[in-house]
Every structure is written in structure tokens, then in C-alpha cells.
Amino acid sequence: MQEVTVGGSAIWDRQSVLLYSLQSANVLLGGASPAPSSVGSAVDDLAPFATLLTDEDRERKAEASPPGTFNVIVNPDSFNHLAEYIADGAESKRSEAMEPRRASIATSLASSLGRDSVMEGIALAGDPNIVILPRFEDSGRRSMRDLRAFNLDAATTRPTIKQEDSDEGWSSRSPDLTTLRHFRDHVWKQLIPPEHEPDSSIELLDEAAAKFPPLTRAMMAVGSLAIFQQDGKERLDSLQHYSQTLPELQASLRSEEDLASDGAFLTHFLMLIYEVATGDLEHPDIWARHISTLLRIALLRRQIFGGERFPYVCWWICNIDLEALLSGTGSGRFVGYMLKNDLIPPPSFHLYPLGDDGSSVVYSEETQALPIVLQLDYQVTLHAIQLGLLANEFRNDASLETADVRQKAMAIKVRQSRISEIQEGLRQLWTVPAVQSLAQMQFPLRAQRLFHHAWTMYRACMIYSHTSMWPCQRTDTSPDFDPEITAAAQQILQVSQAIVSTQAKSSRFLVFPLFMAGWASTSGNQKLLVQDLIQKLEEESLGCNTRTTRRALQAVYERQNQHFMRTGQSLDVCWLDVMREQGLTVVNFGL
């Protein structure tokens, strides 16, 4: 079995089918076309896959399409009519023998539906490109009169959500509906800022999904991933939905207008969320490919529509890419391009819903504080992007390692000057009279959440700028700013304690500031407190990044202790190096 490989298989290798999907998107966007191949070269003049009656026709259909587009599934019931399986007890033994030890996407499709759902002559509900054979017949036994027409109505039925449906009976009617309900009621609220009207923005997805079915599949993929994370169940359901999203998405993209549609944009956004949340170590660059595709789609939407219909989604993507940049996992391609070309949505477009003038609606009780807080959060985020891009530049510049003492001193002085400009810009934000007046205000929900984000991100950036711009920065620079580092760590801890105790479900933005506070703190008690707070936030995490963050912080603590015991100080420990050595990749600290 050593010669067997799944690499490149569009059925078993998830990266293969994803790359094909992303290549298709890039072709529509004007990017390089994938290399020619024999696959898909045949002319497809056949009927829809679910209506084909012979294996020969199915094979011809498959030859005209990319690998993995069509699937035929057999299960133990498919063999019941054969003479060799009719003997007493043979059926049950055969079923037991075919139970998968490690379920695949294809087998989980059949098993998740249950025996009653495997009806003779019916394609898999929700995906007409997957057919379950009611009867297996080899070439010697097959005849046209033995084959029956497929029920196309059943094959094209797709689960949809109706608000008027009651919770009672959902689980018994369809696991997919339960997953969608979980996505609507829990997962979506974790992904977006608090809303003035609960569940209002989910209508965007419902409307787009009604016109773009792959979006529904992406919602189920993310929803089932969250269920897996919370219940510790196998991740087969989420893998199933995700892998089915890719060919459905590919089949739906026939023009630039399709790619620029709301449905395609939101589907790619949720696929990005899925990849970031899973923290897939086998394919660590897939999330970056989604980011690149989303950037090109965003530019295409501006070209076609003259602007962006969902500017707040672009803002959310900017924040995801920012954390990947700060973690050293990403290069900041999305935020770097958007910043350079002045395309980052301004603060008046960061929240849902948008009013008649195209800007975010500000309600009467929010008029005093929310506009100020939005501007503050926007400016802090812009400075954080600049800081992350500068750190990426420094880390990719190897000249410091080969410089002599004089050259190194001059290079560090230049670096410190560039960092100081960003630091001073961050400090000045809090001296503005309007921002200072916020101390006397009672914040409504949305303003409070944004203020907490700006407040903790500012202090995390100050720690980052003094400690994490390049390896061994603290040993290369003066200790003059140590008091500022210590104060920032203490302030992050104080605020985070208060927030986590009351609002843990909507506080994933705290994980990165807490990580910076724990790494920079010299107090053992503070380091332990950071671990405890991150563990509480981990309970509400959508994916594995928060757990990985806690493990990474523990590894950093151990390395700091080792260095301290050996040299009496631990300032030369680089958390980025420790994470790379331990194979701990974090794209977004709080997802």
C-alpha cells in the first residue's frame, strides 16, 4: 500500500479541489489560466448527471468536467439483490465488514443520511452531482430495462431556513437545518460586532444564499465546525460541507458578474473563516489564497458596481488579515493593498445596517459616543496595520544579522525612528479632546465593544512595537520603555478581567492583547492570569486558534524560564521563533 497516494486527487485531497476552484476564480478575474490538461477536454453534450442511466454515460460526463465534480456512491444496500449476498445473515455481515474505520467524505455522506434516505433512483438531496446507486450491477448483468429514471425533484431539493419554523422537531427533520440554525443563532454572532437589532445582518446571508446555493453550503460548513469544536465530535460533517462547497462554487462561476455577486463574495468570506478557524497544518497557505481571491473580488466589485455594497465585510476581512500579519503568519497582502490605495472603508461604513445615504445607521442613543469611537477604532487599526507591515519588512531584512557593530547600531537607530513615528501617532489619538470626553460617557452596546477593542489593541500595539518588530529587539534597544511595556500589560489584564467575566461570548478580540500582555509581563502571577483568561475565551472559540494561542504562550513561558535560569534574563526570547519551532501556527488569535 506504500504506492497509494491521495495527493492531487480532487476527491480525497482537499487542497487539490480548492486550488482548482481558486484557479477558476482567478481566470475569471483575469489572472493566469491554469495549465492545460486532458481533464475537461471532452465536449459535454449529455443530460444532467442525476438523469443519466448508464455507467458509460456517467463516465463520459465525468471526462468533460474537472476531477471530483461528479460522485457515485454505493453502500451495502446496493448489493442486497445479488445472489452471493442473499444467504441468511450475509447482509448483516457485509454491512459490518464495510463500516469504515476512518470515515471519508464520501462515506460520511451516505452514513449521515441514514438508511431511510437512500431511496432507489434518487440523487443526493442538495447536490445533483452526487448519486447513490440503489442497485449495483456489473457489466455482465446490466441492461437498460433494469435501470430506472431518477427522481429529479428529490435531487434538487435544498434545505432553506424559515424564520417562522419553531425549534421543536428541527433535529428530527434534518441535521442540515439544525446546523444552519446553530450558524444563525450562535456562530454568526461570534464573527461580527454586536448589533443594535439582534440577528439583523444574518438577513444578508439569507438573501444572498437564496440566489447563490454554495453560500448555504459554506454556512453549514462553518456551523458544523463550531459544533465540532464545542462538542468534541468528529469533524467529518464540516469537511463534507466544505468539500461540497468547492465544486458547487466552481460550477456557479460562469462570468465576472457571477464572481462579483454578493453570494460569491460572502461564500469566499465564509470559506476564509473556515480555513482560518481550522488551523490546517497540512495546508497552511490555503487561507492566504482565499485572502488573495477576496482582494481580487473586492476590486472587481468596485469596478462593476462603482463601490462596495458590503463595506463592513471588507472591514472584517481587514481585521482578519491584520491579525495574521501581526502573528507573522501572513504578509498583509489584503490590508497592505487596501491601505496603499486608500481603499479601507472609512469608519462611517463599518457597521450594519447601512442607511439611505450608504453609511452606517447610528441610532438616537448612540449619536453622542458612537461616531467618536468609530473614528478612534479606525485610527488605531490603521496604525496597527502600519506597525505590522513595518515588522514584516524588518523580519525579511537580513542585513542586521551580517552587519558589523557600527552598521548594526545605525540600522537599529533608523528602525527605532520609524517605529517611533507610529508609536507617537498612537499616543496622540488619546489626547484628542473628543476622545478624552468619552471618559464621562455611558456607552451603548456597540460603542462599548468598539471602545474596548480600540483600547486593548492600542496597548497591545505599544507592547508589540517595543518587543516584537524583529528577533531580539529588546536586547538590541534601550530599556527606557520598559515602564510603558509593564503598564500596558497591567492595563490589558485589568480590562480583560472585567470584560471576560460578563461578555466572554463576544470578546474574542481580547486574545491577541492578552497574548502580548502575557509574553511581555515579568510577573508570574500575571502570566498565569493571562493563561486563565485565554482558557475561558477558548470555551467560546469557533475554531482551534485560541487553544493554539494558549499552547504557544505556555511554550514561550517555558523558553523564558529556561533562559532566565541559564542567563538571569529572558529578553532574548522571540515568541515568533518559539511558535515556528513548535509548529504552532496562529492566523487569527481569537477564532
Q: What does the domain layout of the chain look like in residue ranges? A: 39-155, 188-489, 490-591
Distances (CA, A) of 87 to 75, 80, 94: 18, 10, 11
Across the range 263-291, mean pLDDT stands at: 88
Residue 245 φ/ψ, nearest 5 degrees: -65, -40
Band of residue 453 on the pLDDT scale cut at 50, 70, 90: very high
Question: How high is the pLDDT of residue 93?
Answer: 39
Question: How high is the pLDDT of residue 134?
Answer: 63
35-82 per-position pLDDT tens digit? 434 434 445 656 676 666 666 667 767 766 666 566 776 665 555 554
Question: How high is the pLDDT of residue 388?
Answer: 98
Q: Does 232 have pLDDT greater than 80?
A: no
Higher-pLDDT residue of 568 and 146 is 568
Higher-pLDDT residue of 292 and 228 is 292
Band of residue 110 on the pLDDT scale cut at 50, 70, 90: very low
CB 429 within 8 A of CB 435: yes
Band of residue 198 on the pLDDT scale cut at 50, 70, 90: confident
Residue 126 φ/ψ, nearest 5 degrees: 90, -15
Cα–Cα distance for residue pair 475/193, rounded to 1 Å: 39
Exposed, middle or buried: residue 235 (CB in 10 Å: 0-12, 13-18, 19+)? middle
Across the range 446-459, mean pLDDT stands at: 96
**Least confident range of 80-94, 422-436, 488-502:** 80-94
Question: How high is the pLDDT of residue 496?
Answer: 96
* 157-162, long-range: CB < 8 A, 24+ apart: 157/125, 157/126, 158/125, 158/126, 158/213, 158/216, 159/126, 159/216, 160/209, 160/210, 160/216, 161/206
Cα–Cα distance for residue pair 39/25, rounded to 1 Å: 18
Band of residue 287 on the pLDDT scale cut at 50, 70, 90: very high
Question: How high is the pLDDT of residue 95?
Answer: 40
Cα–Cα distance for residue pair 567/353, rounded to 1 Å: 56
**Beta-bridge partner residues of 131:** 72, 123
Q: Does 401 have pLDDT greater than 70?
A: yes
CB 190 within 8 A of CB 542: yes
Cα–Cα distance for residue pair 355/353, rounded to 1 Å: 7
Q: Cell numbers 441535521 correspond to what residue?
A: 175
Cα–Cα distance for residue pair 222/273, rounded to 1 Å: 8
Q: Measured in Å, how far apart are the chain's first and last C-alpha atoms?
A: 38
Question: How high is the pLDDT of residue 52?
Answer: 67
Q: Does 566 have pLDDT greater than 50?
A: yes
Across the range 412-436, mean pLDDT stands at: 97
Residue length, the chain?
A: 591
In the chain, what percentage of residues exceed pLDDT 70?
A: 70
Across the range 446-458, mean pLDDT stands at: 96
Question: How high is the pLDDT of residue 225?
Answer: 87
Q: Cell numbers 530599556 correspond to what residue?
A: 479
**Least confident range of 73-77, 130-134, 489-493, 559-563:** 73-77
Question: How high is the pLDDT of residue 120?
Answer: 37
Question: How high is the pLDDT of residue 402?
Answer: 85
What secondary structure letter does DSSP report for 123? B
Question: How high is the pLDDT of residue 148?
Answer: 31
Pick from 467, 483, 489, 480: nearest CA to 575: 467
Pick from 341, 377, 374: nearest CA to 359: 374
Q: Is 58 helix (H, G, I), strand (E, B) or coil?
A: helix
Average of per-residue pLDDT values in the chain: 79
Distances (CA, A) of 313 to 190, 426, 489, 497: 14, 25, 31, 29
Question: How high is the pLDDT of residue 145?
Answer: 32
Q: Does 478 have pLDDT greater than 70?
A: yes
Across the range 107-111, mean pLDDT stands at: 32
374-391 per-position pLDDT tens digit? 999 999 999 999 999 999
Q: Does 30 have pLDDT greater than 90?
A: no
In the chain, what percentage of residues exceed pLDDT 90?
A: 50
137-172 per-position pLDDT tens digit? 544 333 333 323 333 233 333 334 344 443 443 343
Across the range 237-244, mean pLDDT stands at: 83
Distances (CA, A) of 24 to 30, 39, 43, 49, 127: 10, 14, 18, 21, 20
Cα–Cα distance for residue pair 137/13, rounded to 1 Å: 29
Across the range 211-223, mean pLDDT stands at: 93
Question: How high is the pLDDT of residue 140?
Answer: 38
Pick from 238, 129, 119, 230: nearest CA to 175: 238
Contacts of residue 506, defined as CB under 8 A and 6 or more positions apart, other chains included, come to: 189, 190, 194, 449
**Least confident range of 115-119, 460-464, 490-494, 576-580:** 115-119
Residue 73 φ/ψ, nearest 5 degrees: -115, 135
Cα–Cα distance for residue pair 398/283, rounded to 1 Å: 27
Question: How high is the pLDDT of residue 26?
Answer: 57
